[in-house]
A and B are shown apart, each in its own frame.
Chain A
């Protein structure tokens, strides 16, 4: 695992720099340039947590520990005209390199119609958490399993049969298969919260309803800047707000997920996903829940015609209660389970193709300022397979944004 020491050093630096700066008044509003045509925002977070180099419960598809990382992001919007905006976000994790997390143009074709089109590296339409993975909108430190936990499957390498897949249970952090890429590498989550896809998105909204659809290059699990299989993903979402404070939404997505490097061009195997999410808030309560079901058409490489569909189901609920203006407590219960397949292993008994995972995260936060928050959590993980079955992590974070 890379960068084991650096996050601690950076986090300590941030704590020592940011905390005194907070007392002197750090920026709290976006920076305006060129008479307001350009606005800059930013976010810096330093997360101090335990190592996760045995159980890899919090390993991400960017090969980092979600509970032990430093992140800095700079967001900009440029509005050359009233109905056109160019948006971008540069982000670095552990000061490795700055990458364009988002970069797209937003157009409102008709000024009176609440219909927008966005093109480029765009925010995901599917689900809710993917657009909320910012520290100012997070109530805990860890990510929901659906958006972070690495399953064993990869877009560039395939199991030859069911046993190859079963052998990789709980090895999502570094998995290898006999077909396609021979190098070991990280698997995929159901939905990546660490990369955004590239494509075209349209949204229409009213006071009570929001509908959005997108065509993108990659898939939920493997968002891409450049296409690797000439198959597009189609995704959509409809959200309804029947009451003030209540939002209910349904999402769907389908796209080719296997790289052409595996089979060559001409074959298409889809990741199909359905999701539902709900958010309700009132007084000092905030409750969110999400359900994600994902199915992959899995062509076992050695005998492709005998492939089968494998699926995963993630569901989580999280809540926050604000005790005082500065203090809050929060918790999340999360479960990720998988469909069963049969092979020679496990005596031929149908077995979940990945080890199911249950996660509880409890914690709280303290607002030093409106835009400077300290958080601490305890995360309890349990996995029905693999080398390490249980692991509890403690993590703390300082997050600042403007």
Chain B
């Protein structure tokens, strides 16, 4: 990305240098000819301008990290519930809203994956662009029944055994809550965006949104357990912008 920006700037600088030299050392007719060339190439120069893009990066911290999902207290069990995998509820999603126009360019149909392991969805938070097909493989020892009643995408994959997988395509932007009908403590979030300017935080809360064209944007940070926080940011020609969030518990 950074390389692309640098290259684009070099091209522009080279063009201007050549033009200046031409104006000084060449006869007027040549200068006119160069000017014509420059005007003729100006749309290309604009495209180059659009290709200049920056990066918004930073860290999302949670003031009060949410606790792991636990099963409902079930007095009807004959013994202790077998343990389940941890749910990483600290993951947040940072995204631009609205997104630059270039974000809606047509793209190929991507695929993503949400695994079922040790009675947990992995990852717990998945961010995708609309049109993505998500695979839900069951890599557990028991049946699962993945379903969602969320408005952007309602589905029920039924019960399927270990080693099998079913897929769902998400076309409508929004937040989709995913559950397992059999295990009440299993849940996940799929955030479907109409653009590609988003990022899921890593284990330490860091995020990075690349290829952001220069301009002013509203950047939002979402976490399932906190209030949505928005910040205004301007991405200039210089490139990178640092932006940190501190999210309060809802």
Find out whether the CB atom of B149 lies under 8 angstroms from the CB atom of A77: no
Q: Which of B73, B74, B79, B158 contacts A283 (CB 8 A)?
A: B158
CB distance from A172 to the nearest CB of B (A): 26
Given known A-B contacts A281-B143, A370-B179, A114 and B73 have beta carbons under 8 A apart: no
- Bound Cα distance A336, B152 (Å): 47
B232 at the interface (CB under 8 A from A): no
Which chain B residues (70-86) contact chain A, with CB distance < 8 Å? 70-80, 82
CB distance from A103 to the nearest CB of B (A): 9
CB distance from A299 to the nearest CB of B (A): 33
Q: Which of B69, B71, B73, B156 contacts A324 (CB 8 A)?
A: B156
B155 at the interface (CB under 8 A from A): yes
B148 at the interface (CB under 8 A from A): yes
Which chain B residues (125-153) contact chain A, with CB distance < 8 Å? 141-143, 147-149
Q: List chain A residues, Cβ under 8 A from B158.
A: 282-284, 322
Q: List chain A residues, Cβ under 8 A from B71.
A: 30
Find out whether the CB atom of B77 lies under 8 angstroms from the CB atom of A123: yes
- Bound Cα distance A41, B75 (Å): 10
CB-based nearest B residue for A325? B156
Q: List chain A residues, Cβ under 8 A from B79.
A: 106, 108, 114-116, 118, 203, 205, 212
Interface stretch among B23-31, B100-108, B159-167?
A: B159-167
Given known A-B contacts A281-B143, A283-B159, A284-B156, A75 and B78 have beta carbons under 8 A apart: no
Q: Count the A residues whose beta carbon is within 8 Å of the partner chain — how many?
A: 53
- Bound Cα distance A314, B107 (Å): 61
B246 at the interface (CB under 8 A from A): no
Q: List chain A residues, Cβ under 8 A from B69.
A: 29
Q: List chain B residues, Cβ under 8 A from A61.
A: none
Which chain B residues (1-49) contact chain A, with CB distance < 8 Å? none
- Bound Cα distance A339, B156 (Å): 45
A163 at the interface (CB under 8 A from B): no
- Bound Cα distance A325, B177 (Å): 13
Find out whether the CB atom of A102 lies under 8 angstroms from the CB atom of B143: no
Find out whether the CB atom of A281 lies under 8 angstroms from the CB atom of B159: yes
Find out whether the CB atom of B159 lies under 8 angstroms from the CB atom of A102: no
B228 at the interface (CB under 8 A from A): no
Find out whether the CB atom of A75 lies under 8 angstroms from the CB atom of B72: yes
Find out whether the CB atom of A125 lies under 8 angstroms from the CB atom of B78: yes
CB-based nearest A residue for B73? A77
A7 at the interface (CB under 8 A from B): no
CB-based nearest B residue for A369? B149
Q: List chain B residues, Cβ under 8 A from A142.
A: none
Given known A-B contacts A116-B79, A283-B159, A245 and B143 have beta carbons under 8 A apart: yes
Q: List chain B residues, Cβ under 8 A from A282.
A: 158-160
Find out whether the CB atom of B143 lies under 8 angstroms from the CB atom of A32: no
- Bound Cα distance A360, B139 (Å): 39
CB distance from A115 to the nearest CB of B (A): 8
CB distance from A232 to the nearest CB of B (A): 19
CB-based nearest B residue for A213? B78
Find out whether the CB atom of A131 lies under 8 angstroms from the CB atom of B156: no
CB distance from A168 to the nearest CB of B (A): 33
Q: Which of A123, A245, A325, A326 contacts B76 (CB 8 A)?
A: A123
CB distance from B174 to the nearest CB of A (A): 15
Find out whether the CB atom of B67 lies under 8 angstroms from the CB atom of A32: yes
Find out whether the CB atom of B75 lies under 8 angstroms from the CB atom of A87: yes
- Bound Cα distance A58, B71 (Å): 32
Contact pattern, A 31-42, Cβ under 8 Å of B = 1, otherwise 0: 010001001110
Which chain B residues (55-70) contact chain A, with CB distance < 8 Å? 67, 69-70
- Bound Cα distance A77, B70 (Å): 11
Q: List chain B residues, Cβ under 8 A from A40.
A: 73
Find out whether the CB atom of A325 lies under 8 angstroms from the CB atom of B154: yes
Contact pattern, A 94-124, Cβ under 8 Å of B = 1, otherwise 0: 0000000110101010000011101000010
Find out whether the CB atom of A401 lies under 8 angstroms from the CB atom of B147: no
- Bound Cα distance A108, B156 (Å): 36
Find out whether the CB atom of A39 lies under 8 angstroms from the CB atom of B73: yes
Given known A-B contacts A36-B70, A207-B141, A369-B149, A131 and B76 have beta carbons under 8 A apart: yes
Given contacts A108-B80, A114-B80, A325-B154, 12 further A-B contacts (CB under 8 A): A30-B70, A32-B67, A39-B70, A75-B74, A85-B80, A106-B80, A108-B79, A116-B78, A116-B79, A125-B78, A201-B78, A324-B154
